């Protein structure tokens, strides 16, 4: 797909790109400020679409508050496009603190699986939050209705949530350009739960590979206990789409340089003349410990020791683009590479031949294209990489299909580039053998492998990547089934004031109190007792707390609240306000022979999952697994529920999956029965039901479409509204209680 094809409008909305840096960087040279345009892949992909929509690019200009707004605007205008650059303003020093702190000293090493290099201190987190807040303020000030917001990369992982809280109706996508780590690694990240919640503010979350996507899903489950499907997650009444979209490059632009640009052609001839009798190996990286440059040099030394006949017949051109030079670890890395290059050249070099040509500098795109075009082998072996576009750029420049790609299996590009020689960059003997094979590969095999690679790179280019992302983002809301909307507390309060008789049916665990790993710890706090007491004291209210817990627990915890109706075991048992007797709303349990059979099966699962336990109630039996490792627990729960379906086929009992539980109970026991019982005795002008899991859906159904039905927490629900957590629910009840008291006064 060509750049011109990318200008097809993906949606009627204006595109707003948000990244840490603008495609223009302001920097000082000899005391003078200048603006330099970026030639990166992201800029190549975004600029045609931004021009077509008259869009915005919001980011940091790099001056760190040293320039006044007029100077900055003047410099940026010198590189003006048919779209606007909007710089994010930072106080002096704050931009550097934001950039060099939490994102690059905490997130970067951990996401690339270098936890030993991770540094964290609380001030860096506060700088990260403040930096995202600066971005949020700039974005919010420049939005208009219908905009599509596309946020890029790990510097801005808190931004989606910040913007969502300001405007729940926005369309917002996020793309992560670095790997997403496994849940085991992510668990080390300080404030990792807040990072995940920040990302969940998006409508579309995209990653380079399906592996990164699955790691994200695993983290949601393990860290936040949020379940997801392969391509979506339900959160706060929204469906967030999850996609794997590997980024591409602009192959047409590179090919054009090689075919038509005089400077590139001249440089190609110079390189061919300079290395006419040698195999050329090229490696191009940012100067970063994730790129595996020392490991590559060790492997090259191994190759030269094993193949002395390659002396004066091969040259390795290592380009290392300076990166984050103000950070100590990068200075140490630079010194290590210099020493290794010196050792290798000293051991193998001759007066006529330098084995390793080390270029520690940025390189112009035309020179880079020439280097790729001439190189016999590209040595791309990062220790960990989200994608690595060098691999794709090299293939795009091999117009005669005459090169070999040696590629790390830990680069995201490896998923798409199976014709490359894939290696483990930590195994220097394996890597050396792969490079040796690349140098000696027969022309037919070289051409066949490279032809497939080049065709795929050309087909899946950066413009196709952008078009697919924006098409998915534009479709947000069109493909989704209706779900709950955020509750407007003021609207509930107004309806509550007008109603003469009100029925409130409230679930307990997960709605009034947070879910606990040990259910016995979910004791109602004093604040909840006071709020329920105030609500139940209003003569216009009928207030009921309904739970799957036993009657004894409900009595112990809430029995002393005057005027409160209680429901236990999902409504099978009821205790009316002002009484001490529990009555059966369904037939008495009787023998319930299936319980004994289920008890033995449940005990078997307790043995398989340390931390789980069995609870037996009058009408049901429950396996609790909240203290089990989440992924293993959910897997076992699904297995147990499937097993129960078969074992209970001839009975009136069925398994029910809840939050951290598998419960077996008769089909005629459900919370809707309790709601119907209260509705039969009352004629409320306002009905309100609140719950957090699937067992509460029956209450919502019985209360009907005109009731205020509220789902608390994550997940899809038939409720009309949602609140984010138990704290929000308690604040709502406090508001309603205060409303009645003010009216009575």
Active site residues: 507
Check: CB of residue 712 under 8 Å from CB of residue 499.
no
CA distance 211 to 203: 20
- Partners of 27 in beta bridges: 34
- Partners of 84 in beta bridges: 56
- CB atoms inside a 10 Å sphere around CB 668: 13
Taking only Cα atoms into account, the Rg of the chain, rounded to an integer number of angstroms, comes to 31
CA distance 390 to 285: 8
- List, in sequence order, the alpha helices (H) in 281-427: 293-306, 328-348, 365-374, 389-397
Q: Which of 117, 420, 107, 428 is nearest to 293 (CA)?
A: 428
Structure tokens at 627: 């203290």
429: exposed, middle or buried (C-beta count within 10 Å: 0-12, 13-18, 19+)? exposed
Four-residue CA torsion sign, 198, 202, 206, 210: positive
Check: CB of residue 543 under 8 Å from CB of residue 610.
no
DSSP 562: T
Four-residue CA torsion sign, 440, 443, 449, 450: positive
Classify 529 as helix, strand or coil: helix
DSSP string for residues in 434-448: HHHHHHH--HHHHHH
CA distance 201 to 160: 5
Q: How many residues does the chain have?
A: 745
Structure tokens at 11: 């949606």
In the block, which residue shows the tokens 């899903």? 217
The H-or-E segment that residue 426 falls in is none
- CB atoms inside a 10 Å sphere around CB 112: 24
Check: CB of residue 301 under 8 Å from CB of residue 267.
no
- Partners of 542 in beta bridges: 503
CA distance 247 to 431: 26
Structure tokens at 600: 């033995």
Check: CB of residue 621 under 8 Å from CB of residue 614.
yes
Q: Are strands 204-207 and 171-175 parallel, antiparallel or unpaired?
A: parallel
CA distance 114 to 104: 12
CA distance 109 to 113: 6
624: exposed, middle or buried (C-beta count within 10 Å: 0-12, 13-18, 19+)? buried
DSSP 376: S
Distances (CA, A) of 706 to 495, 502, 672, 675, 721: 11, 13, 16, 15, 12
Beta-strand ranges (E) seen in 225-330 are 232-235, 238-244, 279-286, 314-321
CA distance 591 to 535: 39
Please compute, for residue 210, the number of CA atoms within 13 A of its CA located in the half-sphere on the CB side.
5
HEC profile of 678-738: HHHHCCCCEEEEEECCHHHHHHHHHHCCCCEEEEECCCCCCCCEEECCHHHHHHHHHHHHH
């Amino acid at each position: 797909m060509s750049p011109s094809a990318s200008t097809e409008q993906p949606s009627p909305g204006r595109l707003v790109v948000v990244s840490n840096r603008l495609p223009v960087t302001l920097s000082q040279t000899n005391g003078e400020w200048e603006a330099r345009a970026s030639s990166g892949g992201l800029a190549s992909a975004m600029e045609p679409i931004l021009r077509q929509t008259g869009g915005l690019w919001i980011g940091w200009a790099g001056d760190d508050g040293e320039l006044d707004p007029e100077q900055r605007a003047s410099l940026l205008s010198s590189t003006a496009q048919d779209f606007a650059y909007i710089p994010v303003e930072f106080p002096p020093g704050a931009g550097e603190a934001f950039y060099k702190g939490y994102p690059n000293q905490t997130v970067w090493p951990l996401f690339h699986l270098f936890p030993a290099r991770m540094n964290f201190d609380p001030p860096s987190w506060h700088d990260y939050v403040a930096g995202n807040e600066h971005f949020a303020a700039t974005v919010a000030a420049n939005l208009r209705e219908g905009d599509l917001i596309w946020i890029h990369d790990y510097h801005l992982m808190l931004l989606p949530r910040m913007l969502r809280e300001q405007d729940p109706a926005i369309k917002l996508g996020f793309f992560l350009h670095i790997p997403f780590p496994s849940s085991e690694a992510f668990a080390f990240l300080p404030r990792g739960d807040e990072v995940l919640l920040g990302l969940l503010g998006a409508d579309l979350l995209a990653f380079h590979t399906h592996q990164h996507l699955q790691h994200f899903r695993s983290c949601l489950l393990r860290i936040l206990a949020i379940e997801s499907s392969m391509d979506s997650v339900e959160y706060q009444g929204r469906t967030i789409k999850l996609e794997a979209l590997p980024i591409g490059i602009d192959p047409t632009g590179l090919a054009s340089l090689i075919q038509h640009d005089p400077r590139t052609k001249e440089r190609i001839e110079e390189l061919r003349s300079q290395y006419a009798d040698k195999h050329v190996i090229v490696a191009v990286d940012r100067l970063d410990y994730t790129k595996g440059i020392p490991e590559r040099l060790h492997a090259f030394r191994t190759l030269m020791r094993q193949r002395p006949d390659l002396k004066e017949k091969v040259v390795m051109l290592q380009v290392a683009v300076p990166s984050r030079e103000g950070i100590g670890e990068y200075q140490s890395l630079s010194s290590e590479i210099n020493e290794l290059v010196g050792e290798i050249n000293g051991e193998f070099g001759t007066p006529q031949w330098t084995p390793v040509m080390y270029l520690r500098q940025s390189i112009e795109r035309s020179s880079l294209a020439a280097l790729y075009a001439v190189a016999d082998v590209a040595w791309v072996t990062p220790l960990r990489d989200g994608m690595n576009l060098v691999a794709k750029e090299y293939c795009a420049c091999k117009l005669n299909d005459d090169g070999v790609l040696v590629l790390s299996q830990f680069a995201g590009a490896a998923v798409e580039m199976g014709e490359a020689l894939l290696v483990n960059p930590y195994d220097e003997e394996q890597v050396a053998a792969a490079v040796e094979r690349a140098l000696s590969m027969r022309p037919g095999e070289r051409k066949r492998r490279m032809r497939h690679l080049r065709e795929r790179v050309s087909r899946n280019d950066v413009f196709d990547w952008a078009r697919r992302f924006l098409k998915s983002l534009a479709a947000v809301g069109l493909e989704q089934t209706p779900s709950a909307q955020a509750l407007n507390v003021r609207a509930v309060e107004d309806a509550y004031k007008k109603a003469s008789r009100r029925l409130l049916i409230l679930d307990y665990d997960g709605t009034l109190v947070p879910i606990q790993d040990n259910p016995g710890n979910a004791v109602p706090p004093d604040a909840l007792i006071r709020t329920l007491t105030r609500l139940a004291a209003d003569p216009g209210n009928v207030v009921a707390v309904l739970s799957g817990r036993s009657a004894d627990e409900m009595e112990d915890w809430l029995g002393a609240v005057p005027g409160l109706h209680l429901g236990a075991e999902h409504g099978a048992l009821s205790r009316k306000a002002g009484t001490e007797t529990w009555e059966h709303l369904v037939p008495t349990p009787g023998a319930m022979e299936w319980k004994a059979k289920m008890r033995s099966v449940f005990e078997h699962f307790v043995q398989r999952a340390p931390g789980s336990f069995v609870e037996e109630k009058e009408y049901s039996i429950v396996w609790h697994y909240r203290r089990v490792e989440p992924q293993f627990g959910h897997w076992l729960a699904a297995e147990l529920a499937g097993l129960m379906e078969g074992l209970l086929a001839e009975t009136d009992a069925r398994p029910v999956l809840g939050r951290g539980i598998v419960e077996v109970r008769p089909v005629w026991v459900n919370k809707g029965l309790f709601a119907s019982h209260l509705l039969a005795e009352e004629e409320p002008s306002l009905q309100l039901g609140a719950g957090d899991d699937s067992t509460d859906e029956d209450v919502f159904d019985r209360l009907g479409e005109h009731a205020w039905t509220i789902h608390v927490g994550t997940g899809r629900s038939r409720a009309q509204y949602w609140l984010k957590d138990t704290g929000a629910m308690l604040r709502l009840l406090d508001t309603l209680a205060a409303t009645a008291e003010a009216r009575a006064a």
